[in-house]
Amino acid sequence: MKPVTYTYDWGMVTDLGRRNISRMSAKLGVENIIVADDITKKRENIAINLRAWLKSPHLGMISILTAGDKHFFRHIETIKKQTGIGLNLWGVNPLEVTHFKAGFLGVPPDFEEDRVYAHGAMKQLRYQWLRFSAMLDSPGYFNRSLWDTLSGEYYRSFSEKSDYFHIFDYWRWDERQIDETLDQYGWERAPDTTTTWRIGDGTAAFYNYIYYTVAGFTEHDTFRSNQIREGDLSREEALALVEQENAPRYPNIKWYLDALGLDFKEVITVINSIPKLYSA
Question: Would you place residue 119 in the very low, low, confident or very high pLDDT band (cuts 50, 70, 90)?
Answer: low
- How many independent structural domains does the chain possess? 1
Is residue 280 assigned to a domain?
no
Is residue 278 assigned to a domain?
no
In whole angstroms, give the CA distance from residue 208 to residue 142.
Answer: 25
More confident residue, 269 or 159: 269
Segment 48-75 mean pLDDT: 96
Range of the domain at 105: 4-272
Is residue 228 assigned to a domain?
yes
In whole angstroms, give the CA distance from residue 151 to residue 147.
Answer: 6
Residue 121 pLDDT > 80? no
Q: What are residue 164's DSSP bridge partners?
A: 88
* CA neighbor of 214 nearest in space, from 127, 129, 97, 101: 101
Please tell me the predicted confidence (pLDDT) of residue 115: 55
Please tell me the predicted confidence (pLDDT) of residue 253: 97
Residue 265 pLDDT > 60? yes
Is residue 69 assigned to a domain?
yes
Is residue 279 assigned to a domain?
no
